[in-house]
Structure formats: C-alpha cells, structure tokens
C-alpha cells in the first residue's frame, strides 16, 4: 500500500503542476480557438487525474476535508466541460442523463461539504460548500425552468467551472504546502484573488449578450456533439 500511495502522490503532483501551468495558457490565447481548446483539454484531464488521485489519498488516509476539496475540484472541471455540450439549451435542447446524475451528485457533495463546515467549524468548507451549492442550484434551475436560459449562459458556466476547478486545486496546494501563510488564509487566498476578476469578465460578457450580441461574436463557437 505504501508503494501505491507513493506512486499516487507523484502522479497527483505531476498532474497538479501540469494543470497549474496550462490553465494560464488557455486563458491567455484566443478564446474558442484551436490553442484554447487544446490547452483546455489538457487542463481538464490534468484536473481529472489530480482530483482522482487526491480523492484516493484522502480516502486511504481518512482526510475528510481534502476528500471534499478533491471532489469539489473534479466536479467543477466536469461542470465546465459539460457546459460545452449544452450550448443549445436556449433552443430547447435537453440535458443528457449524465448531466442529471452530475447535478444530483453535486448537490449531495456540496450539501455535505457545507454541513461538514458547520459541524467542524471549518471556514473553507463553508465557503466551498456554499459556492458549490449555488453553482449546482443554478445548473439544476437551468434544466427544469420553462423559460430557456440566455444564449450565452453556457459560456458563463464554462468559465465558472474551469476557473473554479483551478481555484480549488491551487487552494489545496496552498493549504498543504504554503505553511508560512496562516490558516484559513492559506486556503482562501486563491478564492479572494481569482473570483473578482472572473466575475468582472463574466459581467462583461453578460453586458454584450444583453446588447444582442450572439455568443459567436464574442468567442469562437464550435458546437460539440450532444453525446459525450
């Protein structure tokens, strides 16, 4: 088991560092272009590996807080990825079974994260649990409401999911490695630093959508196949 945990740790570190470096590259290049899609895919799979190995390590070592953090990062990466397959919700597209299962699992996980935060007095769990519940709540509402979502909502979800996953990964690294920053700030500073610019960018996109601009005029849009 010790050897397996060692290999798991090195795989987690490698995937995490890969994600740290390629995420800024995906943000820097032209949105929707070939380079953006390439680095976005690399980041997504890096987060899948990093999140899965973190969950495995947390389960074996009984680390509830890091277990919830790993699930949080993994879920948000999936949420950002799946948004690319739901670009036509405003035209009557229906979510696939995997989307319903995912949002249901997200509600359970983030509800548990919030409850754990209340019971243990862990501030980051309260913050991440609340953010996760708001994200999954909006996602579920977009599935069940009779009024279709705005045409560019998938883009806002894509941004929230991938940036949120990146924040969670950086937060976990900071909490476990940057011991010179006092708790809980070593876990919360990525959220405080990255969320305001993300909201600012999303608000700019929202303003352009309200002015009648099609998402294709904002970013290069390539409709993904519905089956994923």
pLDDT digits (tens, 9 = 90+) for 35-53: 888 888 999 999 999 989 9
In terms of Cα–Cα distance, which of 166, 190, 189, 129 is closest to 50? 166
> What pLDDT does residue 43 have?
92
pLDDT digits (tens, 9 = 90+) for 165-187: 999 888 888 888 888 899 888 88
| Percent of the chain topping pLDDT 70 | 93
In terms of Cα–Cα distance, which of 201, 216, 190, 124 is closest to 159? 201
- The answer to the question of residue 82 being in a domain is yes
- The answer to the question of residue 62 being in a domain is yes
State the virtual CA torsion across 192, 198, 204, 209 in degrees, nearest 10.
-130
Q: Could you give the number of structural domains in the chain?
A: 1
> What pLDDT does residue 45 have?
93
Tokens 């899609």 locate to 37
- The answer to the question of residue 220 being in a domain is no
For residue 73, give its domain range: 2-90+151-213
Six token digits for residue 103: 């949002």
Mean pLDDT for 21-36 is 82
> What pLDDT does residue 213 have?
75
> What pLDDT does residue 124 have?
79
Reply yes or no on whether the pLDDT at 223 is more than 60. Answer: no
- Please state, as a whole number, how many other Cβ atoms lie within 10 Å of the Cβ of residue 11: 15
- The answer to the question of residue 122 being in a domain is no
Specify the higher pLDDT residue, 225 or 65.
65
Six token digits for residue 159: 């941004």
Q: Distance (Å, rounded) from C-alpha 64 to C-alpha 82?
A: 27
């Amino acid at each position: 088991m010790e050897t397996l945990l060692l290999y798991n740790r090195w795989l987690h570190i490698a995937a995490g560092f890969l994600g740290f470096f390629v995420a800024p590259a995906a943000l820097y290049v032209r949105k929707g272009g070939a380079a953006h899609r390439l680095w976005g895919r690399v980041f997504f799979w890096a987060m899948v590996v990093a999140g899965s190995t973190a969950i495995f390590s947390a389960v074996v070592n009984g680390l509830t807080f890091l277990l919830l953090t790993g699930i949080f990062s993994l879920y948000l990466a999936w949420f950002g990825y799946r948004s690319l397959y739901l670009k036509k919700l405003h035209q009557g597209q229906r979510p696939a079974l995997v989307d319903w299962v995912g949002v249901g699992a997200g509600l359970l996980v983030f509800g548990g994260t919030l409850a754990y935060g209340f019971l243990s007095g862990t501030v980051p769990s309260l913050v991440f649990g609340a953010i996760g519940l708001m994200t999954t709540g909006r996602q579920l509402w977009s599935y069940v409401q009779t009024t279709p979502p705005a045409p560019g909502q998938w883009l806002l979800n894509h941004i929230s999911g991938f940036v949120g996953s990146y924040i969670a990964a950086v937060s976990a690294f900071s909490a476990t490695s940057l011991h010179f920053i006092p708790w809980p700030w070593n876990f919360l500073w990525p959220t405080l630093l990255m969320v305001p610019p993300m909201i600012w960018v999303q608000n700019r996109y929202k303003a352009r959508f309200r002015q009648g601009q099609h998402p294709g005029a904002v970013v290069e849009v390539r409709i993904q196949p519905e089956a994923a």
